[in-house]
Structures are given as structure tokens and as C-alpha cells.
Amino acid sequence: MKELFRKILLIIIASYIESIFYLYLINIYVIFPITFLLYSFLIYKTDKYNNVFEAFFIGLLFDLFSGTYFGTNAALFCLMSYLINLNSNSFKLFSYLQVCLFFGITSSAYVGFTQMILNLYNFSYTILFTSALFNILFCILIAMLPIYFPRFFSRKI
């Protein structure tokens, strides 16, 4: 229960940070799904099997906070939870670059799905491709940080 509360609190904080960044990044045609990447990272880093109902519940809470259509993020969080749990043993064989590409591509798929649902008549491939490039580069940067700052990242969260 304590871990679920911690996840919900982190998602709320990430949602607030995402709403601040959205105002600036949309001018350069980038959508940066911080909450989706954070939730994916939390699922990826846990050792136990994550329940799909937990992902659905957190997605519904994020739908309430973000003001999107009810169930959009819940379904996408469930899908991401299922994909990570399905491939949890395969991720142990992948390199950091392959895992970063996976998270970057799934975050661009998240951007694509949400843009198709929210902006059906105003769908932009420019936003999709620039967001995909930005998200992949961000995931690679995050994966490279422990190499350059090992003492800071050796601590447990």
C-alpha cells in the first residue's frame, strides 16, 4: 500500500511538471510524456509482477488530473504494464541502448495514440516525429547519466 501511494504521489508530481514543460515544448513541436515514462520506469525497475488493475487505477487517476478523455491513459498504462511484464526476462538480455529505444518508441506510440484520440482532425506527423526523436534522445541521456555520475546513482531510491 505504501508503494502504491508513493507511485501515485510521483505520478501527480510528474503530471504537474509535464504541464509546465508542455507550454514551452509545444512551440518546437515536441510532446514529452513525463508521466508515461516515469510510470514505465517504475514498472521496469520493480522486481515483482505488477498488477494490471494497479496500472488501470493509476491511469484513471492521471486521466482525472490531466483532463483527458476518461480511460485513455488507463488503457495505455495497462498496455505498457503488460508489455513490460511480458518482456521482463528479455530485458535482462538487452543492452541499455535497446532498452532506451524501446522506451523511446513506446513513448512516441503513446504520443501518437493520445494525439489521435484528442486531436483527430488536427493530427500532426511533425509533432509525432520530433517527439519520437526527443524522447529517444532523452531516454539515452538518462541511461548515460549513471556512467558519468556513478556515486550519485549508486544510492537506492
Question: Could you read off the pLDDT of 11-27 as tens digits, one per residue?
Answer: 889 889 988 988 898 88
Q: 14: Cβ–Cβ under 8 A, 6 or more apart, which residues?
A: 34, 35, 38
Q: How far apart (Å, rounded) are the C-alpha atoms in residues 40 and 101? A: 13
Whether residue 53 has pLDDT greater than 90: no
Q: What local confidence, expressed as pLDDT, does residue 15 receive? A: 87
Q: 94: Cβ–Cβ under 8 A, 6 or more apart, which residues?
A: 102
**What is the grid cell recorded at 14?**
510528474
**Which region among 19-23, 81-85, 135-139, 148-152 has the lowest average model confidence (pLDDT)?**
148-152
pLDDT digits (tens, 9 = 90+) for 81-132: 999 888 888 888 888 788 888 999 999 999 999 888 888 788 888 989 999 9
Whether residue 155 has pLDDT greater than 60: no
Looking at per-residue pLDDT, the higher value among 134 and 148 belongs to 134
- Nearest C-alpha neighbor of 76 from the set 125, 102, 114, 19: 114
Whether residue 147 has pLDDT greater than 90: no
Looking at per-residue pLDDT, the higher value among 154 and 115 belongs to 115
**Which region among 68-72, 117-121, 151-155 has the lowest average model confidence (pLDDT)?**
151-155
User: What is the three-state SS of the chain?
Assistant: CHHHHHHHHHHHHHHHHHHHHHHHHHHHCCCCCHHHHHHHHHHHHCCCCCCHHHHHHHHHHHHHHHCCCCCHHHHHHHHHHHHHHHCHHHHCCCCHHHHHHHHHHHHHHHHHHHHHHHCHHHCCHHHHHHHHHHHHHHHHHHHHHHHHCHHHHCCCC
Q: What local confidence, expressed as pLDDT, does residue 134 receive? A: 93
Using the structure block, give the residue that is written with the C-alpha cell 508513493: 6
